[in-house]
Amino acid sequence: MSNLPEFITIQNVQKYISNRMVLDIDELVVYQSECVVVHGPNGSGKSTLLKILAGLMTPDSGVATTNGVVRPWRQAIREFRANAVYLHQTPYLFDRSVEDNIAYGLRFRNRSQSVLFSEVQSAMEWAGLSHLAKRNARDLSGGEKQRVALTRARILEPKLLLLDEPTAAMDRKSRKQTFSLIRDLASGGNAVYIATHEAADLYQPDRVIQLDYGKLVV
Amino acid sequence: MDGLIGASAEALRLLFTGDREIWEIVAISFSVSFRAILYIVPLAILSAFALAYGNFPGRRVLITIVNALVALPAVVVGLLLYMLLSSSGPFGGWRLLFTQGAMIIGQMILAFPLLVAMIHVSLQGVDLSAWQTARTLGASIFRAMFTIMREVRFGLIAAIVAGFGRVVSEVGCSIMVGGNILHHTRNIPTAIALETSKGEFEQGIALGAVLITLALALNFAVATVRGRDMARH
């Protein structure tokens, strides 16, 4: 139990892929503003859990409660999508400049061009990406791409940020920079879920949950 | 040989002196095929997206059927459409037979599987994470589609060019449902077929030259745009 207010609760969630059960969760409560590390071996259902919380995947069964209201999944998915941003292990950056990538999600919100520009500039400064603003995002290194993806998510100020193996296959310097950005994000008031093989301490989480064969074991 | 050279010279004269009949046939051809592609591209894009990202039973069977229909003979489409649109057919009341409208419908049917198959292949070249990224960043389904279309823009352009090439040069369907009526439904392929059957090659060669020039120009334009983009990265 946490003292933080509940944001999302999922219960009796099951997900099958190719007739194999990949997720079977009795109950998981996502609290507002908490940082959670999701541990588990490959194939334990970490990505599936994060994608369900992002509204990118629909479970085969289960109940979702958001802000204290039990909702049908179709409606819950809309809530999840409106509040959560999911980052893939290998982030997909669109074939356009770094600043255009970062501005992508903001364009769907009502922002004047000047406000949008200034938000993008300050987000790039936060991530140390200002010198790469005009570069095509596809030409960046792995670490730089992850920073662009984090910045692109952060600028939307999601209530729940879901990071799937954010530092996998990174060199030491990039990992250090990425850890620093994630810790900064986690202290910013939004809930952050990080699926990782790394030692949980690196993220200074509020709690750690363990998945094994799709089941929560902690 | 002399006959071929003479016919070619006469063909060039017809083209460059602005022979009204020739250029009217060219205009009908382009107008019909352009409208057919314009009308069918949105449906083809939606279908390709459904096949690429949709999760519904029978999806793989549909992909196989679409791929098989790429080689659909134009004359078969013409025959079926003729039966549907003739006065004894179920849509005879529409009075579309031997009109440009019938030719457009026929060309839409012909282009559809090719467009869907080519766009679907392009979409398969983009990771599913592209779609999920667009959606998780707040894009609606249609916005996400436009984003992905931009990602596969060269594949999309290539598909449209190929689709246009397929319909602008088909003769079987146009001649059956269009009727090859001068000033109305006579397009480049049907005119070439007619003139050749009469043994008058000049107009056929001139129109064939227009088709070949068009094919070269379209492919050159696609290659140039693609080359510029590759050089940029």
Angle at CA of residue B129, ends A208 and A26, nearest 5°: 35
Residue A92, min C-alpha distance to chain B (Å): 6
Distance CA B211, CA B209 (A): 5
* pLDDT of A1 strictly over 60: no
**Which of A54-58, A204-208, B77-81 has the weakest average pLDDT?**
A204-208
Measure Cα distances from B101 to B29, B108, B177 in Å.
12, 10, 9
**In B, which residues are within 8 Å of A81 by CB distance?**
135-136, 138
Distance CA B2, CA A71 (A): 82
Task: Tokens for A14, please give them.
Answer: 């099951």
B2 band by pLDDT with thresholds 50, 70 and 90: low
Residue A200, min C-alpha distance to chain B (Å): 25
Terminal Cα-to-Cα distance of chain B (whole angstroms): 50
pLDDT at position A77 is 92
pLDDT at position A98 is 97
* Per-residue exposure over A163-200, b if at least 16 CB sit within 10 Å of its own CB, e if not: bbbbbeebeeebbebbbebbbebbeeebbbbbbbebeb
Residue that wins the pLDDT comparison between B206 and A201: B206
Distance CA B202, CA A59 (A): 67
List pLDDT tens digits, range B82-131. Answer: 999 999 999 999 999 999 999 999 999 999 999 999 999 999 989 899 99
* C-beta separation of A9 from A65 below 8 A: yes
- Taking CA–CA distances from B132, the nearest residue in chain A reads A56
* C-beta separation of A76 from A99 below 8 A: no
Residue A18, min C-alpha distance to chain B (Å): 12
Encoded amino acid at A159, one letter: K
* C-beta separation of A159 from A194 below 8 A: no
pLDDT at position B37 is 98
Angle at CA of residue B36, ends B34 and B40, nearest 5°: 120
**Percentage, residues of chain B above pLDDT 90:** 75
The answer to whether the CB atoms of A88 and B139 lie below 8 A apart is no
**Quick one: DSSP state of residue A45?**
S
Distance CA A96, CA A10 (A): 37
**Percentage, residues of chain A above pLDDT 90:** 69
DSSP per residue, chain A: --SSPEEEEEEEEEEEETTEEEEEEEEEEEETT-EEEEE--TTSSHHHHHHHHTTSS--SEEEEEETTEEE-HHHHHHHHHHHEEEE-SS----SSBHHHHHHTGGGGS---HHHHHHHHHHHHHHHT-GGGTTSBGGGS-HHHHHHHHHHHHHTT--SEEEEESTTTT--HHHHHHHHHHHHHHHTTTSEEEEE-SS-GGGG--SEEEEEETTEE--
Tell me the longest C-alpha to C-alpha distance in chain A. Answer: 50
pLDDT at position A216 is 92
pLDDT at position A181 is 83
pLDDT at position A139 is 93
| Whole-complex ipTM | 0.91
* pLDDT of A54 strictly over 90: yes
- Taking CA–CA distances from B140, the nearest residue in chain A reads A108
| Domain assignments of chain B as residue spans, ordered by start | 2-232
List pLDDT tens digits, range B6-56. Answer: 888 888 888 888 889 999 999 999 999 999 999 999 999 999 999 999 889
The answer to whether the CB atoms of A56 and B132 lie below 8 A apart is yes
List pLDDT tens digits, range A109-151. Answer: 988 899 999 999 999 999 999 999 999 999 999 889 999 999 9
* C-beta separation of A97 from A138 below 8 A: no
Residue A87, min C-alpha distance to chain B (Å): 8
Residue that wins the pLDDT comparison between B2 and B217: B217
pLDDT at position A107 is 93
Measure Cα distances from A60 to A20, A110, A212 in Å.
12, 35, 19
**Quick one: DSSP state of residue A90?**
S
Distance CA A62, CA A16 (A): 12
- Taking CA–CA distances from B148, the nearest residue in chain A reads A94
* pLDDT of B166 strictly over 60: yes
* pLDDT of B1 strictly over 70: no
* C-beta separation of A83 from A153 below 8 A: no
pLDDT at position A176 is 82
**Average pLDDT, whole number, for chain A?**
91
Task: Tokens for B74, please give them.
Answer: 């134009």
Distance CA B222, CA B154 (A): 8
List pLDDT tens digits, range A144-177. Answer: 999 999 999 999 999 999 999 988 877 888 888 8
**Residue A75 CB-half CA count within 13 A:** 9
The answer to whether the CB atoms of B233 and A109 lie below 8 A apart is no
Is the four-CA dihedral B28, B31, B212, B159 of positive or negative sign?
Answer: negative
CA B188 to chain centre: 14
CB atoms within 10 A of CB B17: 9
pLDDT at position B230 is 67
**In B, which residues are within 8 Å of A51 by CB distance?**
132
**In B, which residues are within 8 Å of A109 by CB distance?**
138
The class that CATH gives domain B2-232 is mainly alpha
* C-beta separation of A155 from A105 below 8 A: yes
- Give mean pLDDT, residues A66-91: 91
Residue A121, min C-alpha distance to chain B (Å): 18
**Average pLDDT, whole number, for chain B?**
92
Contact status of B60 with chain A (Cβ, < 8 Å): no
pLDDT at position B23 is 92
* pLDDT of A31 strictly over 60: yes
- Give mean pLDDT, residues A77-94: 94
Distance CA B44, CA B16 (A): 38
The answer to whether the CB atoms of A56 and B136 lie below 8 A apart is yes
The answer to whether the CB atoms of A86 and B233 lie below 8 A apart is no
* pLDDT of A24 strictly over 90: yes
Distance CA B228, CA B68 (A): 34
* C-beta separation of B188 from B211 below 8 A: yes
pLDDT at position B231 is 65
**In B, which residues are within 8 Å of A94 by CB distance?**
130, 133, 147, 150-151
**In A, which residues are within 8 Å of B130 by CB distance?**
92, 94
CB atoms within 10 A of CB B22: 20
**Quick one: DSSP state of residue A136?**
B
pLDDT at position A4 is 73
Measure Cα distances from B216 to B38, B192, B207, B222 in Å.
21, 19, 14, 10
Distance CA B103, CA B28 (A): 11
